[in-house]
């Protein structure tokens, strides 16, 4: 048994439903076999656990591990390719790099970079958009298993409107997706996600093949993109002869509790009603939306219509793996919407980055640090004398400290990461992987 001692912040109850930040400046958390057995003020807890080892997390904050609900593994090396809207960015920046993952050795190096980047940012669980190549998807699952990361991912499938080397057929998409699911779904912490890239690169036959995989793999997830960019939406509705983008997935029965759609920057009210009825989740990717000029995410409409929302970094259109940065950008986005924006407070940002993500990925045992939960956590400890350190030491209370953390905290402040109570090794990233 181990007792973790530190300043612990989490959001067991959603602030969108009246919950508040739970914060304790000197908390003890007793962990046995990866599960939180007890917690409370350290000095009280210590009496009943005199012989247990104490891990003293002096300075900074202990938070639940971050949950990234939308991040592209093949795009880690194209982060920062700014200056283009979605469709041009895909053509000129993302897709040429995705083609390079046809080489399994290259894909394995990218997978290693990707997983170490996620973990170094304090992310302990993620819905990972995979690759169009089977061997690359295997490499991602292997790297994630080595690190111990909770990954839900799958083979990306498409059968039109992409470079030829990224295209499949409905039949092949079914066979290869089902094969990858057989290799990885439920193995260790891995789960499979059926992953058509987006409707613009999918025929109805391909989406039907995706639905067949979902039927045949109990507990599999579904992930894709929706309503990201106005030009994309216009092309999708024209191609499918449907009035909405959401309908392209919904009419194949692809939306449910284990479905995560990225973006949804431009939804109709009828689409929000469908997403709410299906209990599907939206991965809100604020730095990506800003970088690609996709638009300002209508969070208030999602919340008021009962659509589940969590955060995604959307690397490589997004600006990096930090969910602190995504939380801050989510806040800025709502501010920019003026009266139409949702008034976010620090507790909302923490919830979006942790417990909301765990709910979206159907991981009921993580996302907050209550008794009975698994101990997935990140320790943020600012470098002494840094502006974050100064700000944190002068915070007026827990909410202020958390606001300062989202504003000033970076991946450089991640001092420790645990999954199931085990420390995750932070790779020495000064060594290039080629
Ligand atoms: N839509 C289809 N593919 C992608 C992608 O790789 N990134 C983003 N942001 N949107 C997409
Ligand atoms: Zn994406």
170-178: long-range pairs with CB below 8 Å, 24+:
170/203, 170/205, 170/206, 170/208, 170/209, 171/209, 173/206, 173/209, 173/210, 174/209, 174/212, 174/213, 176/134, 177/209, 177/210, 177/213, 178/213, 178/216, 178/217
Instruction: Please report the pLDDT score of residue 426 as a whole number.
Output: 73
Ligand 1 binding site (Cβ under 6 Å of any ligand atom): 72, 86, 90, 94, 197-198, 225, 228, 288, 314, 317
CATH number at residue 392: 2.30.40.10
Same domain, 122 and 251: yes
For a pocket test of ligand 1, which of 79, 317, 326 has the largest count of ligand atoms closer than 8 A to its C-beta?
317
> Which domain covers residue 231, as residue numbers?
66-360
Same domain, 102 and 54: no
**Residue 74 covered by a domain:** yes
Ligand in closest contact with the CA of 201: 1
Average pLDDT over residues 403-430: 90
Distance 39 CA to ligand 2 centre (A): 38
Ligand in closest contact with the CA of 318: 1
Residue owning the nearest CA to atom 9 of ligand 1: 317
Ligand in closest contact with the CA of 292: 1
- Characterize the bridge pairing of strands 414-419 and 422-423: antiparallel
Q: How many beta carbons lie within 10 A of that of residue 167, not counting itself?
A: 17
Instruction: Please report the pLDDT score of residue 168 as a whole number.
Output: 98
Residue owning the nearest CA to atom 11 of ligand 1: 225
Same domain, 253 and 332: yes
Same domain, 326 and 416: no
- Cβ–Cβ under 8 Å, residues 289 and 264: no
Same domain, 250 and 207: yes
If you average pLDDT over every residue of the chain, what do you get? Answer: 97
pTM above 0.95, yes or no: yes
**Residue 326 covered by a domain:** yes
Average pLDDT over residues 236-240: 98
**pLDDT of 430 strictly over 80:** no
Position in ligand 1 atom list of the atom nearest CA 228: 10
Domain boundary pick from 360, 382, 409: 360
**Residue 433 covered by a domain:** no
CATH number at residue 148: 3.20.20.140
**Residue 247 neighbours by CB under 8 Å, 6+ apart:** 240, 271, 274
Q: Whole-angstrom Cα distance, residue 213 to residue 102?
A: 23
Distance 225 CA to ligand 1 centre (A): 7
**Residue 127 covered by a domain:** yes
Ligand in closest contact with the CA of 198: 1
Position in ligand 1 atom list of the atom nearest CA 318: 9
Same domain, 53 and 151: no
**Residue 432 covered by a domain:** no
Distance 114 CA to ligand 2 centre (A): 15
Position in ligand 1 atom list of the atom nearest CA 314: 9
Residue owning the nearest CA to atom 5 of ligand 1: 90
Average pLDDT over residues 287-298: 98
**Residue 431 covered by a domain:** no
Instruction: Please report the pLDDT score of residue 11 as a whole number.
Output: 98
Position in ligand 1 atom list of the atom nearest CA 294: 9
**Residue 8 covered by a domain:** yes
How many domains is the chain partitioned into structurally? 2
Fill in the DSSP letter of residue 194.
E
What are 261-285's pLDDT values in tens digits?
999 999 999 999 999 999 999 999 9
Same domain, 156 and 295: yes
Same domain, 165 and 51: no
Residue 270 tokens, joined = 């009828």
What are 25-79's pLDDT values in tens digits?
999 999 999 999 999 999 999 999 999 999 999 999 999 999 999 999 999 999 9
143: helix, strand or coil? helix
Same domain, 304 and 380: no
Position in ligand 1 atom list of the atom nearest CA 200: 2
Domain boundary pick from 320, 335, 360: 360
Same domain, 145 and 203: yes
Same domain, 135 and 233: yes
Distance 131 CA to ligand 2 centre (A): 12
Question: From its phi and psi, is residue 148 left (phi > 0), alpha (psi between -120 and 50) or beta?
Answer: left
Same domain, 75 and 41: no
Position in ligand 1 atom list of the atom nearest CA 72: 6
Q: Whole-angstrom Cα distance, residue 32 to residue 14?
A: 27
For a pocket test of ligand 1, which of 71, 77, 94 has the largest count of ligand atoms closer than 8 A to its C-beta?
94
Domain boundary pick from 340, 360, 380: 360
**Residue 302 covered by a domain:** yes
């Amino acid at each position: 048994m181990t007792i973790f001692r530190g300043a612990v912040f989490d959001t067991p109850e959603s602030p969108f439903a009246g919950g508040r930040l739970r914060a304790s400046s000197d908390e003890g958390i007793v962990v046995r076999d990866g599960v939180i057995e007890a917690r409370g003020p350290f000095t009280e807890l210590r009496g009943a656990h005199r012989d247990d080892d104490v891990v003293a997390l002096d300075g900074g904050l202990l938070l639940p591990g971050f949950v990234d609900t939308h991040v592209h593994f093949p795009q880690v090396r194209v982060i920062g390719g700014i200056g283009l809207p979605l469709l041009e960015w895909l053509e000129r920046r993302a897709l040429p790099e995705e083609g390079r993952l046809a080489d399994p050795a290259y894909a394995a190096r990218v997978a290693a970079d990707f997983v170490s980047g996620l973990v170094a940012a304090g992310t302990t669980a993620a819905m990972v958009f995979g690759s169009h190549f089977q061997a690359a998807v295997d490499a991602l699952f292997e790297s994630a298993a080595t690190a111990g990361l909770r990954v839900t991912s799958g083979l990306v499938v498409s059968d039109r409107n992409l470079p030829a080397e990224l295209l499949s057929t409905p039949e092949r998409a079914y066979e290869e997706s089902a094969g990858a699911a057989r290799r990885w779904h439920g193995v260790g912490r891995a789960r499979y996600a059926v992953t058509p890239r987006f409707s613009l690169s999918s025929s109805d036959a391909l989406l039907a093949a995706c639905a067949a995989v979902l039927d045949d793999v109990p507990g599999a997830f579904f992930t894709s993109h929706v309503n990201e960019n106005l030009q994309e939406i216009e092309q999708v509705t024209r191609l499918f002869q449907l009035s909405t983008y959401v309908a392209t997935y919904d009419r194949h029965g692809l939306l449910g509790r284990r479905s995560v759609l990225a973006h949804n920057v431009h939804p109709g009210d009828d689409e929000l009603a469908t997403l709410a009825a299906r209990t599907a989740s939206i991965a809100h990717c604020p730095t990506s939306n800003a970088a690609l000029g996709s638009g300002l995410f209508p969070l208030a409409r999602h919340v008021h219509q009962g659509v589940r929302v969590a955060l995604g970094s959307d690397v490589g259109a997004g600006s990096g793996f930090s969910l602190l940065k995504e939380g801050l950008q989510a806040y800025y986005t709502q501010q920019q919407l003026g009266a139409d924006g949702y008034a976010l407070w620090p507790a909302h940002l923490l919830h979006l980055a942790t417990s909301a993500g765990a709910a979206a990925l159907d991981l009921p045992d993580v996302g907050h640090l209550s008794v009975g939960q698994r101990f997935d956590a990140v320790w943020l400890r600012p470098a002494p004398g840094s502006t974050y350190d100064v700000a944190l030491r002068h915070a007026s209370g827990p909410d202020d400290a958390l606001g300062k953390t989202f504003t000033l905290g970076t991946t450089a402040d991640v001092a420790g990461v645990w999954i199931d109570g085990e420390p995750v090794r932070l790779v020495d990233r000064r060594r290039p992987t080629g």
